[in-house]
């Protein structure tokens, strides 16, 4: 893969915004949501 050369602060900001949009406080909660969505999409045959 290619390097993106992002500052740690930039990555933390992106993660914080993503968590806020999902309405969760922790990364593990976001992972649970992602797994649920993935399971739903598989069931629908996408």
Label residue 6 by pLDDT band (50, 70, 90).
very high
For residue 1, pLDDT beyond 90: no
CA distance 1 to 23: 31
Q: What is the pLDDT of residue 10?
A: 98
CA distance 31 to 2: 24
pLDDT tens for 7-23 read 999 999 999 999 999 99
Q: What is the pLDDT of residue 9?
A: 98
Q: What is the pLDDT of residue 46?
A: 78
Q: What are the domain boundaries of the chain? A: 8-43
Label residue 25 by pLDDT band (50, 70, 90).
very high
């Amino acid at each position: 893969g290619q390097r993106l050369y992002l500052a740690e602060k930039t990555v933390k900001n992106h993660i914080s915004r993503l968590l806020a949009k999902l309405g969760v406080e922790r990364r593990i909660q976001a992972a649970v949501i992602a797994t649920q969505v993935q399971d739903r999409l598989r069931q629908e045959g996408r």
